[in-house]
Chain A
């Protein structure tokens, strides 16, 4: 009897696990099939290299996703340039330097940061960060890529900090003992021994933070200005892949070229996220292997 129950439970759990894979495959297929319909009317080359995206334009639609792709990359790179050094420094501080009191205070605070809804962050971007950028950088408007990057940095930080901290903690104590034994100080040990020992863990945490930033929609939509131009720097307004979908999906009628174009954009985004996540997993796996 018990045996049968066990086998049944195992089966149910298996089905649950399988269903999530099925859902993932289903989403991917749906995006791909609908997205592929676009290429009946627009060539893949034009889609990937066209500089203008304006499906409802006054003088005929244009489906060039390059400026959207570049916008997404620009905002994400900006966010990572800030979040990775900051996140790793914070993690190192928390795991190696900070007294217990600080660690116990900071850890829940950082987790709280992860819980802020993206709309609220967007609001902060409009009301606080935008005007600050205007004032201190002498810009005429706060709706630009930099504003988006700063907010995405805030969103990616919790992921990067907590995963990096775990990686740093996982470095065997014997490494540090050896370093101290050779006469190295605390600082030298951290920079030359501990951090290099967990590089792959730090890379994996950064990649996961990157994935989080890449897929974020609401915050970016609210603060980057969504201009259709090809952005030339962080002070320009950008329109990312995610905001384009969010803006246009509401007005599009199903079955039209525009509709399929949005699916093509979504597939592009899905592929980007997939590549980053797979890379992060691969690096993390290597890291686990080295620990044992």
Chain B
């Protein structure tokens, strides 16, 4: 589809090794979620190094796009950073597509401002007021003067919907800029001292924040006055950072062996380790076991 720039990462590895039978060659397509695409892509690369006959095509776009492609049967596995909407559930039912909902990692959404911005912490009610357009000037909550510029994503983004429905709890102000991906938001914030944006923590890994000329805001809990950082694995693990969400995948059933094996790999110790290295939080033991059980069931479904 028409998705510019870093968002479309379309990699198809055709791994022909020698002259084996074509029947051994397996292919699946995974679509959706700009927040997940880099993570899933790196896991797919690792998986394909092992299994030279497997080919996994990863396409980004928003979560909405992944789910739509599952509904239209153009992909076997959809990445999504949000749950299905009622409309999507009905459409899946209508088309008789059975799916398995999988959680494979936990993500946090970080709020970012320019590195010269005086603000260090923010509360969720301030986030909500900012994004609804109730706070239009920074002087209302910080030492900085001047209007607030809101950076966000387009309506096909899971993060856009998650934040709107869970945190802002109202329609976004219509001055919200709809950019194409997490990376573009970071780029814009780097250049705009009046801006605030939100990105998945996975995009903050690698270079330090000061190198990127941005500042990651701590979120202040209004009840106990403590501040929590999305960059701290401890805060995330303890569930103290308040803007956390599961990273989901929806698998169309009956699933191919390759799809099942790939998900199994994501849940394996190695896969979970890659998740940690990418700045996301691996699954807790309970969820992990539930997911493995669900996967085993899906295998039987196929047999």
The chain A residues found within 8 Å of chain B, CB to CB, are 52, 54-59, 119, 122-123, 126, 130-131, 134, 140-143, 217-218, 221-222, 225-230, 237, 239, 246-254, 256
Interface positions, chain B 181-198, Cβ under 8 Å from A, are 184, 187-188, 191-195
Between B147, B176, B177, the greatest number of chain A beta carbons within 10 A of the residue's beta carbon is seen for B177
Q: Which 6 A/B pairs are nearest by Cβ-Cβ distance? A: A251-B64, A226-B178, A251-B156, A225-B177, A58-B171, A250-B65
Q: From residue B41, how far is it (CB to closest CB) to chain A in Å?
A: 19
Between B161, B184, B191, the greatest number of chain A beta carbons within 10 A of the residue's beta carbon is seen for B191
Task: Determine the chain B residues whose CB is within 8 A of the CB of A134 once the complex forms.
Answer: 191-192
Quick check: A140 and B178 within 8 Å, CB to CB?
no
State which of B3, B64, B161, B184 has its C-beta within 8 Å of the C-beta of A126: B184
- Interface residues of A: mostly helix, strand, loop or mixed? loop
Question: Is B88 part of the contact surface with A, judged by Cβ < 8 Å?
Answer: yes
25 residue pairs bridging A and B, Cβ less than 8 Å apart: A54-B155, A54-B174, A140-B149, A140-B192, A140-B193, A140-B194, A140-B195, A141-B149, A141-B188, A141-B191, A141-B192, A141-B195, A222-B4, A222-B180, A225-B179, A226-B177, A227-B178, A229-B174, A230-B174, A237-B175, A250-B62, A251-B65, A251-B67, A254-B72, A256-B87
Task: Determine the chain B residues whose CB is within 8 A of the CB of A217 once the complex forms.
Answer: 2
Quick check: A248 and B155 within 8 Å, CB to CB?
yes
Q: From residue B262, how far is it (CB to closest CB) to chain A in Å?
A: 23
Quick check: B175 and A227 within 8 Å, CB to CB?
yes
Q: From residue B32, how far is it (CB to closest CB) to chain A in Å?
A: 9
Cα-based distance from A239 to B2 in the complex (angstroms) = 16
Given contacts A143-B179, A225-B178, contact A54 B171 (CB under 8 A): yes
Task: Determine the chain A residues whose CB is within 8 A of the CB of B170 once the complex forms.
Answer: 58-59
Residue pairs across A and B with CB atoms within 8 Å: the count is 108
Cα-based distance from A254 to B87 in the complex (angstroms) = 12
Question: Is B256 part of the contact surface with A, judged by Cβ < 8 Å?
Answer: no
Question: Is B276 part of the contact surface with A, judged by Cβ < 8 Å?
Answer: no
Quick check: B68 and A253 within 8 Å, CB to CB?
yes
Question: Is B19 part of the contact surface with A, judged by Cβ < 8 Å?
Answer: no
Q: From residue B87, how far is it (CB to closest CB) to chain A in Å?
A: 7
The chain B residues found within 8 Å of chain A, CB to CB, are 1-5, 61-62, 64-65, 67-68, 71-72, 87-88, 91, 146-147, 149, 154-156, 161, 164-165, 170-172, 174-180, 184, 187-188, 191-195
Cα-based distance from A247 to B178 in the complex (angstroms) = 10
Quick check: A246 and B2 within 8 Å, CB to CB?
yes
Quick check: B194 and A247 within 8 Å, CB to CB?
no
State which of A56, A57, A221, A229 has its C-beta within 8 Å of the C-beta of B4: A221
Cα-based distance from A230 to B192 in the complex (angstroms) = 22
State which of B4, B156, B191, B192 has its C-beta within 8 Å of the C-beta of A250: B156
Task: Determine the chain B residues whose CB is within 8 A of the CB of A123 once the complex forms.
Answer: 5
Task: Determine the chain A residues whose CB is within 8 A of the CB of B154 once the complex forms.
Answer: 226, 247
Task: Determine the chain A residues whose CB is within 8 A of the CB of B171 once the complex forms.
Answer: 54, 57-59
Quick check: B4 and A122 within 8 Å, CB to CB?
yes
Quick check: A250 and B175 within 8 Å, CB to CB?
no
Quick check: A52 and B62 within 8 Å, CB to CB?
no
Closest partner residue, chain B, to A224 (CB atom): B177
Task: Determine the chain A residues whose CB is within 8 A of the CB of B64 once the complex forms.
Answer: 250-251
Cα-based distance from A239 to B155 in the complex (angstroms) = 13
Q: From residue B176, how far is it (CB to closest CB) to chain A in Å?
A: 6
Q: From residue B8, how far is it (CB to closest CB) to chain A in Å?
A: 10
Cα-based distance from A59 to B172 in the complex (angstroms) = 11
Quick check: B4 and A218 within 8 Å, CB to CB?
yes
Task: Determine the chain A residues whose CB is within 8 A of the CB of B194 once the complex forms.
Answer: 140-141
Quick check: B175 and A252 within 8 Å, CB to CB?
no
State which of A52, A56, A126 has its C-beta within 8 Å of the C-beta of B187: A126
Task: Determine the chain A residues whose CB is within 8 A of the CB of B165 once the complex forms.
Answer: 58
State which of A58, A229, A252 has its C-beta within 8 Å of the C-beta of B68: A252
Task: Determine the chain A residues whose CB is within 8 A of the CB of B155 once the complex forms.
Answer: 54-56, 247-248, 251
